[in-house]
Amino acid sequence: MSRPFLKMNGLGNDFVVVEARDQPFRPSAAEAKAIADRSTGIGCDQLIGLEPSTRADAFMRIWNADGSEVDACGNATRCVGWLLMQASGRDTAVIETGAGLLHAARGPDGAISVDMGEPGLDWRQIPLSEPMDTHRIEVLAGPVGQTLEPPGAVSMGNPHIVFFLDHEPEETMVRGLGSMIEHHPLFPEAVNVGFAQVLGPDRIRLRVWERGAGLTRACGTGACAALVAAARRGLAGRRATLVLDGGELTIDWRASDNHVIMTGPVAVEFTGRLPEALAA
């Protein structure tokens, strides 16, 4: 029997969302990859399953486009938060993820905010395969390592590193270095690779190579990580607008409780039904 889905996006970072609170939905890695395929499937950066939770409004299970399961996705959390709030009529929602409980709320002009919690800054939290100061980690060698400053490392429920550039992050660099570093031995769980240009203390241009998905139009946890990494280096303040290919996110690393708040728009694209062969 085919199963309905909702296609959504946050700044062009797109998701196929499947309701699984009444009927289990546990596709294999191959099935998740087939759904995400833009040529032969529905097409998305991540596949999302909404499952029952005893601690929250729903548990959000996340598969990357390559079929791998991950614990966190910031833009998907905003989309799911909006869905849950629309269903309940409330202005807040709680989403359980593999990275913990996340709280979503309605923001100004239809935007959705998510409290992404505290960033992980210890090498064990990223995680890295060896002890290292996460302000600046040595991951590149040779000519490339001599031309780029060592990146900062931050966990936002998933591992990120962020390179800071003095120019616009070019697609060839993002694709080339991102794909090269994603599975570097220093990162036992692989890593998301961000390339940021600080335009001012409250504005940062960012492009992200997402592990398991490649270059996406936006990455919510990547935006959070970039702001934290920039603030730690004194390159930006604790609140900034992150300019991504798909639009802008406001990121606020609150001094009061050390939590990172991400705010931005969500959009519904269309509804449909999964092919029966992929509706496991």
Catalytic residues: 73, 219
Q: Answer positive or negative: Cα dihedral of 189, 158, 125, 200.
A: positive
Cross-strand bridge partners of residue 192: 160
Q: How far apart are CA 207 and CA 174, in angstroms?
A: 7
Is residue 127 within 8 Å of residue 161, measured between CB atoms?
A: no
A 10 A CB-CB count for 130 gives 8
Q: How far apart are CA 110 and CA 85, in angstroms?
A: 12
Which is nearest to 17 in space by CA: 275, 280, 277, 271? 271
> Where are the extended beta strands (E) located within 20-91?
46-51, 58-64, 69-70
Q: How far apart are CA 114 and CA 96, in angstroms?
A: 12
